[in-house]
Structures are given as structure tokens and as C-alpha cells.
Structure 1
Amino acid sequence: MASDLGKDTGNRRTGEHPADCDVTVQLSDCGRAEAEAVFGALDEVFAGCEDVVPHPTAGREPTVWMATFDSSAHSGEPSAAPRLGSPVEALLTGDHHAVEVVEKALGRLFDVRSTQHVPGEHEAECRLLLASR
């Protein structure tokens, strides 16, 4: 079961930016609190994202949390360092440069314990293990 939190609603999805700026961030092996911490921090860094914080649901938690961020919409830095209760696996996919921008932002927010980069012809994939600083 997966939760798609990167909805195509709001101002940022009106064609005002090139699609190659979008980075999909998938979080796995974590609960709602960790997903909220990671997506909330990224939402402060990249303006214009709506509905990226997981909404409460009844029943089982998703096994993968997903949101899409516009790497060109940099708005600042989070007001505080986010805390994670346990390490979180993150998978970033998108244009090479856009993935690099989001990866660097995550590196400023969290302790990145491991990385794996898989370059493609048009897209890159980056796997990170995030932990609190």
C-alpha cells in the first residue's frame, strides 16, 4: 500500500515550471512521524508544495510515503533541524540536476548515512539513508 502525497493541485502544478525540476521523493521503512518530519522540512526548503504532510487515516500505515517537490522553487531553510525517531530510507528520482539539488538539501537537514546513485539517460535515481543530526 502506498500513499501519494504529491498531488497535482495548487499553484505549483499549473505549468509554471519545467517538468525537469520535479523530484519524486519516496520514503520507506518509516512511520507517519518520520514522513512528516522529512516532507515538512523539504516543504520549507522548496516553496509551493501542497498536501505533502501525510493525512491521518484509519487502519494500516502506508509502506511507502511519496511526494513530489519542485527543485527550482527554493524558498529558504527550515526553522529547526527535524528529528527522526529512526533512520528513513529515501529514494529520489528525477532529472540529474534536480535530484542533486534535493539531495544537497537533505544533506543539510539530516545525517546522510549512505548513498547509492543510479544514473540514467534522462533521469537519475538516488537512494539515501537519513538520520537525525
Structure 2
Amino acid sequence: MGGIPNSLCNNTNLRILDISHNSITGTIPQCLGKLYGMANSIDVGGPDISHNFDEGMVQVLKVVALEYKETLSFLIKMDLSIIKLVGEILVQLTRLHELVGLNLSNNYLSGRIPEQIGEIRASILSIFY
């Protein structure tokens, strides 16, 4: 058991963060709001990552399944569900405007949902706690 390490935030071009269903505890690090690849439209450069997967990828949040084949490089998601997080939903997460999916469900989060959460363009937003 342990918290989400701040060193994770050094991966500025991170586009998919899925640490769900783990024995992680603690609060959401403020530095997650500085993940450049989730906050800005970026040219990932190099080879198109969608060609690295023959089958593509299926993202499942709650009961909705979204399939990405040709557009895998556009998938930007953060899944922090079912990991025993405590504290508030940080306003810093609302800076991640490019998120397609954000899942914070099944944690022990408290407080109010930040008003700025509507600035995220996520098509799937699951924050129930």
C-alpha cells in the first residue's frame, strides 16, 4: 500500500493513466493537474501509436464501451477508480481539458465537486463517491 507517487507527474506526455483496482491510498496529488499531454492538444510525434496495436483498444467506464482503432492516439483518459483515495477532488484536475474519460468512482472522496469540472471535455465522466 502507498500513495500515488509525485514522480508519476514527471511523465508530461502521459496520455493514459489507469491505476484502478490497486491498493493505493492517500490523496490525489496536485501535480496530476500538470500532465501536459492531458491538458493540451499535442503532436505525440514519432510513429502513430494506433499502428502499434492490431486490435486497437476498448475503453470501458461504467457500462459504456468505446472502441478505438484508427484514433487510438486521441484516447486520453485517467482512471483512478477503486483505489481508496481520500480527500477532495482537486480543482487542478479540471485543467486536463483533453481528457476523454475521467473515472474517480468508488473511492472515499469528500467535499464538493469543483465547479470547473465542466471545462473538461470528457465524454465519460464518473466521479461518484
Establish whether TM, by shorter chain, passes 0.5: no
Higher relative contact order (CA 8 A, sep 6+): 1
Larger Rg: 2
When normalised by structure 1's length, the TM-score is 0.29
- Structure with bigger strand share is 1
When normalised by structure 2's length, the TM-score is 0.30
